[in-house]
């Protein structure tokens, strides 16, 4: 090789080394940033969750407040980017998967009538109240309808965690809440699709709405009708697997059904809950629950912290927004509480009240609905801030009230 070619080759090699080094350095810096962020999330969740539990407050409330503390609104240590949103989604999936594992389908079927009534009334009443509130503010029909849709949303993950902490997931009122949450998700997401289409200027025929609803209902029925007999058929083979292999099978089933539920137009947490219910039929014979619980114990707190990260407290600085947001919160609580009490009245006044309170938290579901409305221009910044305050208050206060009422009104035999 002549000197000129050798010089060019050396320069090219040096450029490649420097470029690779720069790319690796940038990648390492990004990884380090994510790891530091995860460190703050896990640390804040552990500290404030433990502190909340010690003073008699649900751990989830401490974890949501932890997210607000370390998020952009206050200390700005962590921002809710794609990484944390994805991790939070996984946390919600494993939380509902674990809840499903603690729920037998026959127990849920026994409260089907009450669950259906709670879900339908818990959608109709908040929707009507929110729509009326929007019209009272002078909003257009579509914008007012979207406010009503935001009030329809229910974050069952928050309530489920409180019920799990207290060990009452097998209580009858808890089964009604979980059953209503599945129906609520089916009807609520169908309603959201309709309102979003109206906001985008598209028309949605009754046939399209019916098909969307039928697909969601059909998916739930198919998973339960096929899944339960299938796991019972392979029960003997699964019981011979080692703990790690049985755990792998359980996770594949949980994630697979969660993914398929999105194809049917449902939230992945509903698919995870259904998968858990299917596997609950054989959990006494096949050991995998302890390992699933270990993952859920790590990821679920991340989910609640990220709910707090997404709350923009700075948007709530205007007095008019605060007043309107408080009114909206009262309507949001009244709609779900009344729907739960009326729908579950056959359980007795005390347990029906618990059902109503269990349906109140809006959490990340309310945030998603509000963000969607703002993004497509259905609602403006002011209405978005009002909905944000409603989400914050129902998310933080509902678990507190639920736990207090549960300890005071439900007999000890139900709580243990």
172 Cβ neighbours under 8 A, 6+ residues apart = 111, 347, 351
**Residue-averaged pLDDT of the chain:** 83
| Residue 332 structure tokens | 């949001």
pLDDT at 205: 65
Q: 92-300+316-415: which CATH number, 2.40.50.140, 3.50.50.60, 1.20.1530.20, 2.60.40.420?
A: 1.20.1530.20
Closest to 123 (Cα-Cα) out of 31, 192, 68:
192
Could you tell me which residue, 292 or 191, shows the higher pLDDT? 292
CA–CA gap between residue 50 and residue 253 (Å, rounded): 32
Distance in angstroms (rounded) separating the CA atoms of residues 403 and 354: 9
Q: What does the alpha-carbon distance between residue 254 and residue 22 come to, in Å, rounded to a whole number? A: 40
* Cα–Cα dist 171/177, whole Å: 10
Stretch 46-59: mean pLDDT: 87
Residues 192/204, Cβ–Cβ less than 8 Å: no
Per-residue pLDDT, 412: 47
Range 198-205, long-range pairs (CB < 8 A, 24+ positions): 198/142, 198/145, 199/142, 199/143, 199/146, 199/373, 199/376, 199/377, 199/378, 200/376
Give residue-wise pLDDT tens across range 106-160: 877 888 889 999 999 999 999 999 999 999 988 888 888 888 888 887 877 888 8
In the numeric block, which tokens belong to residue 380?
Answer: 């403006």
What does 107-131 look like in DSSP terms, one character per residue? HHHTTHHHHHHHHHHHHHHHHHHHH
User: Residue range 279-284: average pLDDT?
Assistant: 86
Cβ contacts of 32 within 8 Å, gap of 6 or more:
none
Distance CA 147, CA 370 (A): 8
DSSP-assigned letters across all residues of 152-190: H---HHHHHHHHHHTT-TTSHHHHHHHHHHHHHHHHHHH
Tokens of 22: 């720069």
Would you say residue 83 has pLDDT above 80?
Answer: yes
Alpha carbon distance 224, 107 (integer Å): 13
pLDDT at 339: 94
Q: Which residues contact 156 (CB under 8 A, 6 or more apart)?
A: 96, 177, 178, 181, 184, 185, 269
48-81: string of b/e by CB count within 10 Å (b at 16+)? Answer: bbeebeeeebbbbbbbbbbbbbbbbbeeebbebe
Question: Average pLDDT for residues 213-224, to the nearest whole number?
Answer: 86
Confidence band, pLDDT 50/70/90 cuts, at residue 302: very high
Question: In the prediction, which pLDDT does 402 show?
Answer: 86
Average pLDDT (285-302) is: 88
Per-residue pLDDT tens over the stretch 169-206: 888 899 999 888 888 877 877 777 777 666 666 665 66
Say how many Å lie between the first and final Cα of the chain, rounded.
Answer: 84
How many alpha carbons fall within 13 Å on the CB side of residue 383? 30
User: What are 302's two structure tokens?
Assistant: 């991340």
DSSP 71: S
CA distance 162 to 358: 9
Q: What is the structure's pLDDT at 279?
A: 92
Three-state SS string across 10-65, please?
HHHHHHHHHHHHHHHHHHHHHHHHHHHHHHHHHHHHHHHHHHHHHCCCCHHHHHHH
Angle between helix 141-152 and helix 172-199 axes, rounded to 10 deg? 160
Percent of the chain with pLDDT over 90: 27
Q: Where in the chain are the domains?
A: 92-300+316-415
Residue 344 has pLDDT above 80, yes or no: yes
For 310, the 3-state DSSP assignment is coil
Q: Across residues 312-336, what is the average pLDDT?
A: 89
Rounded (5°) CA angle 113-114-120: 90
**Least confident range of 73-77, 84-88, 104-108, 129-133:** 104-108
pLDDT of 318 > 60? The answer is yes
CA–CA distance, 126 with 2 (Å, rounded to integer): 82
The model's pLDDT over 375-416, given as tens digits with 9 standing for 90+, comes to: 677 888 788 888 888 888 888 888 888 888 877 655 544 444
Rg for the chain, CA atoms, rounded: 24
pLDDT score at 9: 53
């Amino acid at each position: 090789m002549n000197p000129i070619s050798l010089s060019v080759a050396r320069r090219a090699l040096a450029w490649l080394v420097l470029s690779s080094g720069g790319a690796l350095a940038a990648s390492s810096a990004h990884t380090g940033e994510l790891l530091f962020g995860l460190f703050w999330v896990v640390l804040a969740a552990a500290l404030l969750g433990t502190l909340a539990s010690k003073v008699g407050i649900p751990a989830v409330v401490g974890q949501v407040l932890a997210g607000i503390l370390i998020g952009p609104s206050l200390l700005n240590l962590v921002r809710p980017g794609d990484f944390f949103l994805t991790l939070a989604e996984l946390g919600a999936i494993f939380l509902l998967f674990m809840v499903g594992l603690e729920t037998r389908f026959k127990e849920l079927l026994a409260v089907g009538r009450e669950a259906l009534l709670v879900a339908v009334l818990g959608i109709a009443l908040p929707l009507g109240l929110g729509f009326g509130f929007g019209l009272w503010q002078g909003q257009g029909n579509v914008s007012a309808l979207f406010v009503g849709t935001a009030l329809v949303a229910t974050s069952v993950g928050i309530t489920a965690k409180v019920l799990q902490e207290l060990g009452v997931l097998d209580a009858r009122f808890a089964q009604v809440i979980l059953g209503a949450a599945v129906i609520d998700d089916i009807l609520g997401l169908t309603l959201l699709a309709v309102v979003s289409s109206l906001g985008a200027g598209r028309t949605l025929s009754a046939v399209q709405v019916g098909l969307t609803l039928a697909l969601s209902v059909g998916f739930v029925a198919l998973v339960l009708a096929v899944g339960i007999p299938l796991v019972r058929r392979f029960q003997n083979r699964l019981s011979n697997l080692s703990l790690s292999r049985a755990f792998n099978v359980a996770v594949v089933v949980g994630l697979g059904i969660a993914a398929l539920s999105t194809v049917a137009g449902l939230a992945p947490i509903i698919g995870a809950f259904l998968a858990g219910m299917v596997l609950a039929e054989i959990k006494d014979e096949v050991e995998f629950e302890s390992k699933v619980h270990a993952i859920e114990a790590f990821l679920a707190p991340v989910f609640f912290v990220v709910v707090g990260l997404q709350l923009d407290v700075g948007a709530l600085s205007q007095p008019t927004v605060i007043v309107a947001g408080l009114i909206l919160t009262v309507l949001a609580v009244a709609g779900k509480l009344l729907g739960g009490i009326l729908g579950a009245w056959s359980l007795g006044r005390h347990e029906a009240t618990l059902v109503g309170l269990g349906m109140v938290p809006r959490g990340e579901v309310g945030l998603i609905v509000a963000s969607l409305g703002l993004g497509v221009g259905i609602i403006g910044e002011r209405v978005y801030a009002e909905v944000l305050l409603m989400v914050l208050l129902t998310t933080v206060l509902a678990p507190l009230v639920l736990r207090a009422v549960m300890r005071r009104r439900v007999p000890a035999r139900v709580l243990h």
